[in-house]
Amino acid sequence: MTLLLFLIQVFVISLSGALSPGPVTAAAIATGQRSRHAGALLAVGHGLLEFPLMILIMLGMGRLLKLACTQIAIGLAGGAVLLLMAIQMLISSMKPADINAQNRPAKDKPIFTGFILSAGNPYFLLWWATVGLALATTAREFGIWAFGLFAIVHWLCDFAWLEALSLASFKGSSLLGPRSQKIVLLTCSLAMFFFSLFFIYKASIALFRLF
Domain boundaries, the chain: 26-100+109-209
> With 60 as the cut, is the pLDDT of residue 105 above it?
no
Res 49: pLDDT: 93
Per-residue pLDDT tens over the stretch 138-150 = 888 888 888 999 9
What pTM does this model have? Answer: 0.74
Report the pLDDT averaged over residues 180-199.
76
Residue with the larger pLDDT of the pair 130 and 158: 158
Query: What is the secondary structure of 104-117 as a DSSP string?
Result: S-----HHHHHHHH
For the chain, how many residues are written?
211
Distances (CA, A) of 70 to 66, 79, 199: 7, 14, 13
Confidence of residue 158 (pLDDT cuts 50, 70, 90): very high
Look up residue 210 and give its amino acid: L
Nearest to 203 by CA among 3, 106, 8, 68: 68
Q: How far apart are the C-alpha atoms of 79 and 195, rounded to whole Å?
A: 7
Rounded CA gap, 40 and 167, in Å?
A: 10
Averaged confidence pLDDT in the chain: 80
Q: How confident is the model at residue 179 (pLDDT cuts 50, 70, 90)?
A: low
